[in-house]
Amino acid sequence: MALLSIVLPAYNEEQNIANTSKVLAELLEENGIEYELVFISDGSRDGTFGQIQKAAEENPRIRGAEFSRNFGKEAGIFAGLEMAAGDAVLVMDCDLQHPPQVIPEMWKKWQDGAEVVEGIKSGRGKESVGHKLSAGLFYRIMSMLIKMDMRASSDFKLLDRKVVDVLLGLPERNTFFRALSFWTGFRTETVHYEVQERQFGESKWSFWSLMKYAISNATSFSTLPLQLVTVMGAISILFSLVLAVQTLVKFLVGDAVEGFTTVILLILIIGGFLMLSLGIIGHYIARIYEEVKGRPKYIISRVTENVQGEVLGSWRKV
């Protein structure tokens, strides 16, 4: 029988683990789906890993690992994919904002031949105004840069083993799971869902962490900002051509430019463009630098007792 692995990245989610495990286990058993739950505690500072361990003792289908520090949700997802043994792997948040009720539908689509089943948000649920605004800005920037509509997409996805293996084989360190599964281009089906309210605790994303995430995703997934540098250069050249003609004409007429204002404006505009361009290029160089160093995406410090030793060995290679 086919096995479904569910990967659940968790950062300071001690209140959610027990409840989420229970809800998922009941739902999957009811629907007769063979499953395992893989919790990745992303360097949590609360009792998350203890909770995972407790859940694993109660239910042998639950396994988990703890990172040595907070490596971010992306790293958590990839560690989970690495650890998952299933023929299909589902990634979802462990705060139950991704409604478990649609899992049977996703599973059905996978059984019918879909290789990627994307969860598409039909609403964002109840969130604070500040969070809505920053998340809105985040998705706008991402969609523009990646040339995909990111607003409705999420990390709630079911992937076939083939797709998981492709993702795990990618050499890059800076990954963007949401767009990468799209990029792999396998047969994709979608499932619509309504974002639920968070069960316990609060959102782990601040305005700045979202912005940082947006910039890092944009630079790891798109070279559009680099082309922006060219556009700015073209604008400057056009501008300077106009001014050059004006200056020359005035000079020839014997009426030299008085233009102190022009000089100041030019210095400001060109200076601004140059520094912005350097900043953009700097971001890409930083990415290249990080990739070249080839450090692992994450470091695992502990695993639950029911995890096999050899699996741990293969993680260390990451």
Q: How far is the CB of 12 from Mg ion (least distance, A)?
A: 12
Euclidean distance between CA atoms 91 and 264, whole angstroms: 54
Say which residue the tokens 């096999």 belong to: 308
Write down how long the chain is. 318
Sheet with strand 116-123: strands edge to edge: 188-194, 116-123, 153-160, 88-91, 3-10, 34-41, 62-67, 300-303
Helix, strand, coil share (%) of the chain residues, nearest 5 = 55, 15, 30
The span of 69-77, 171-179, 183-191, 215-223 binding ligand UDP (CB under 6 A) equals: 69-77
Among 36, 66, 95, 160, binds Mg ion (CB under 5 A): 95
Report the Cα 201 to chain-centroid distance in Å: 21
Distance CA 138, CA 210 (A): 7
Q: Which does 116 bind (CB under 5 to 8 A by kind): ligand UDP, Mg ion, none?
A: none
CB atoms within 10 A of CB 51: 24
Cβ-based neighbour number of residue 220 at 10 Å: 20
Phi/psi of residue 278, nearest 5 degrees: -60, -40
CA-CA distance, 213 to 126, in Å (whole number)? 22
Q: Give the closest residue to 137 by CA, choosing from 196, 222, 214, 203.
A: 214
With CB under 6 A as the contact rule, the residue among 93, 115, 118, 160 that binds ligand UDP is 93
Which one of ligand UDP, Mg ion, none interacts with residue 36, CB within 5 to 8 A by kind? Answer: none
- Residue labelled with tokens 């409840």: 19
Is 83 or 114 the residue whose CB approaches ligand UDP more closely? Answer: 83
For residue 101, the 8-state DSSP code is G
From the list ligand UDP, Mg ion, none, which binds 204 (C-beta under 5 to 8 Å, kind-based)?
A: ligand UDP
**118 near Mg ion (CB under 5 A):** no
| 9 part of the interface to ligand UDP, by CB under 6 A | yes
Q: Does 97 bind Mg ion (CB under 5 A)?
A: yes
Residue 7 or 163: the one with the smaller Cβ distance to Mg ion is 7
Half-sphere exposure of residue 167, counting CA atoms within 13 Å on the CB side?
A: 31
Question: Which one of ligand UDP, Mg ion, none is in contact with 10 (Cβ closer than 5 to 8 A by kind)?
Answer: ligand UDP
Per-residue binder mask for Mg ion (CB under 5 A), 169-208, x = binder: ----------------------------------------
Q: How many residues bind to Mg ion according to rule CB under 5 A?
A: 3
Q: How far is the CB of 35 from ligand UDP (least distance, A)?
A: 18
Taking alpha carbons only, the member of 304, 301, 315, 290 closest to residue 168 is 315
Instruction: Give the one entry of ligand UDP, Mg ion, none that residue 76 binds, where binding means its C-beta sits below a cut-off of 5 to 8 angstroms depending on kind.
Output: ligand UDP
CA distance 261 to 267: 10
Three-state DSSP class for 276?
helix
Report the nearest approach of ligand UDP to the CB of residue 25 (Å): 17
97 binds ligand UDP (CB under 6 A): yes
Taking CB under 6 A as the criterion, which residues in 165-224 touch ligand UDP?
Answer: 203-205
Choose among ligand UDP, Mg ion, none what residue 173 binds, the Cβ cut-off being 5 to 8 Å by kind. none
Q: Per CB under 6 A, does 76 bind ligand UDP?
A: yes
**Could you tell me how many residues of this chain bind ligand UDP (CB under 6 A)?**
16
* Contact partner, 73, from ligand UDP, Mg ion, none, Cβ < 5-8 Å per class: ligand UDP
The residue ranges that bind ligand UDP (CB under 6 A) are 9-11, 13, 42, 70, 72-73, 76, 93-95, 97, 203-205
Which residues in this chain contact Mg ion in the complex, by CB under 5 A? 93, 95, 97
